[in-house]
Amino acid sequence: SLRALKRSMFTTGAVYAAAGQARQLVPQTASKDKHRWVLGTAALGEGNEINVLEFDEDEGTLECCSTYHHSDGQVWAMETSPRDSSLLITSHQNSRKGHGLSLFRMPGQSLSDINSGDGKGDAGTKRDLIKLQSIESTIPERRDPAFVTSVKWSPHDERIIATKEST
């Protein structure tokens, strides 16, 4: 019956355990045909990563499709491009307390890769992100560290807005 269909449609859930503490989970908005998210970890020290997750609604499964090194440190904020599924911007803090913003390309995450099934790499093998641009603060301010707490991509063009909460 329609009532049973509606109930089951909204009760499907899935769980994913990341390798480290996750601070950010954002949709891969350019991917319209599949339910995909990008997760960023914020572990102290080295070893942070970006995971691309895909939810299969028919099977009720959540799978890690690709894993990338995030060598810039802890992910504090991130956003994917609404037009290019392979683009990701992150706000990060490294082990020396420096902060920055980096624009990356995630290999294997173009819409053609995703739709052909090539966007599901070997999730157990970490790949390198391709850094396209970076803005770094190498000398953090003592009283008010200038790190970005939110990044948003314009849905209309390739502009990005970054904001910082005042302390």
What is the pTM for the complete model shown?
A: 0.80
pLDDT tens readout for residues 9-30: 455 677 887 877 888 999 998 8
Region 94-107 average pLDDT: 83
Contacts within 8 Å (CB) and 24+ apart, 107-114: 108/66, 109/28, 109/52, 109/66, 109/85, 110/84, 110/85, 110/86, 111/30, 111/31, 111/84, 111/85, 113/86, 114/31, 114/33, 114/34, 114/36, 114/85
| Residue 46 scores a pLDDT above 80 | no
